[in-house]
């Protein structure tokens, strides 16, 4: 479809409507991702748990609600959640907040981040309608670089071409674009704080990979039109994400 644009020039010109341009490049699937790991960036962490929930654009544009009018998670979604033996010690803090430990992971004979895990992730991604956008909270700083480091460690490649979006940066950017007052208290955009503001209740199972992904998904649904618009202009290419550290030269290995 074309529309008439009234301009300064004497004769009107035909230009495609902006909505049409955007739809043409819209992602068809959003995959919400969270990693639990042995620690923070400076610890050169290894993954202890990974969860991905894939939602088709249709469900983000047509959210489901209960009788009270409250948002429901989409009925149709694909989910993968796996525990991973990190083969290095968890920091006491990481163990405390996640409930995962070297002991319970090895007692349950969990495997390490291996090339078969990479194959599983690739298969999951390939099942989704392309193009796909990965979404993680603080993903540009933590989850995407960490996943890159783990993939590099096993010389793994998740195959399909991907885009990624950081929901933390998106929320901050969307606020900045709407209001001039930008000073927010520390912690204002943490996953749990944002969830409390959106839903006036506590998120479930914080620091469980699946719990955090569901929390993120509900936040995204709550602001879906804004997020979908933001994603088309602020996503990055997966190829441009740098690994968090070089897994080959990383210092503190072995338990
Ligand atoms: N993490 C940590 N200390 C914190 C917060 C997080 O060591 N105060 C690490 C361990 C978590 C990982 O980051 O498994 C991911 O954090 P989140 O649960 O917020 O996704
Ligand atoms: Mg997280
Ligand atoms: Mg988490």
More confident residue, 247 or 37: 37
State pLDDT tens for residues 139-195.
Answer: 999 999 999 999 999 999 998 789 999 999 999 999 998 887 666 789 999 999 999
Q: Is the distance from the beta carbon of residue 93 to the nearest atom of ligand 1 less than 6 Å?
A: yes
Q: What positions carry a catalytic annotation? A: 207
State pLDDT tens for residues 53-79.
Answer: 999 999 999 999 999 999 999 999 999
Instruction: Out of 20-24, 50-54, 60-64, 91-95, pick the least confident.
Output: 20-24
Where are the alpha helices (H) located in 52-114, listed in sequence order? 57-61, 92-98, 102-107
More confident residue, 25 or 131: 131
Q: Is the distance from the beta carbon of residue 86 to the nearest atom of ligand 1 less than 6 Å?
A: no
Residue 5 has what pLDDT? 45
Give me the percent of the chain exceeding a pLDDT of 90: 81
Residue 253 has what pLDDT? 59
The complex's ipTM?
0.98
Mean pLDDT for the chain? 91
Looking from the CA of residue 137, the nearest atom of ligand 1 is 20
Question: Which of 39, 149, 203 for a ligand 1 pocket mutation test, highest count of atoms within 8 Å of Cβ?
Answer: 39
Looking from the CA of residue 98, the nearest atom of ligand 1 is 14
pLDDT above 80: residue 10: no
Q: For 24-43, what is the mean pLDDT?
A: 93
pLDDT above 70: residue 14: no
Looking from the CA of residue 43, the nearest atom of ligand 1 is 7
pLDDT above 80: residue 8: no
pTM for this structure? 0.90
Residue 23 has what pLDDT? 44
Cα gap 24→220, rounded to integer Å? 21
Where are the alpha helices (H) located in the chain, listed in sequence order? 18-24, 57-61, 92-98, 102-107, 115-126, 143-153, 167-178, 191-199, 209-222, 224-234
The percent helix, strand, coil of the chain (3-state, each to 5) is 40, 20, 40
Q: Is the distance from the beta carbon of residue 94 to the nearest atom of ligand 1 less than 6 Å?
A: yes
Question: Which of 90, 150, 207 for a ligand 1 pocket mutation test, highest count of atoms within 8 Å of Cβ?
Answer: 207
């Amino acid at each position: 479809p074309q529309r008439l644009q009234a301009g300064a020039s004497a004769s009107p010109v035909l230009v495609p409507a902006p909505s049409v341009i955007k739809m043409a490049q819209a992602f068809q699937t959003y995959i919400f991702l969270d990693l639990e790991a042995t620690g923070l960036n400076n610890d050169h962490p290894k993954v202890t748990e990974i969860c991905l929930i894939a939602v088709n654009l249709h469900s983000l544009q047509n959210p489901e609600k209960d009788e009270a009018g409250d948002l429901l998670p989409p009925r149709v979604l694909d989910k993968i959640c796996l525990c991973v033996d990190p083969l290095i010690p968890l920091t006491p803090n990481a163990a405390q907040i996640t409930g995962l430990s070297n002991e319970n992971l090895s007692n349950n004979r969990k495997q390490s981040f291996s090339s078969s895990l990479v194959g599983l992730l690739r298969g999951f991604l390939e099942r989704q309608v392309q193009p796909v956008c990965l979404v993680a909270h603080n993903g540009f700083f933590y989850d995407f670089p960490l996943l890159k480091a783990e993939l590099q460690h096993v010389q793994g490649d998740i195959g399909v071409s991907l885009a990624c979006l950081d929901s933390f940066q998106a929320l901050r950017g969307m606020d900045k674009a709407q209001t001039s007052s930008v000073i927010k208290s520390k912690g204002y955009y943490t996953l749990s704080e944002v969830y409390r503001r959106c839903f006036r209740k506590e998120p479930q199972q914080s620091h469980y990979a699946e719990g955090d992904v569901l929390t993120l998904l509900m936040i995204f649904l709550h602001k879906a039109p804004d997020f979908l618009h933001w994603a088309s202009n602020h996503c990055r290419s997966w190829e441009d994400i740098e690994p968090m550290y070089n897994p080959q030269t990383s210092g503190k290995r072995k338990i």
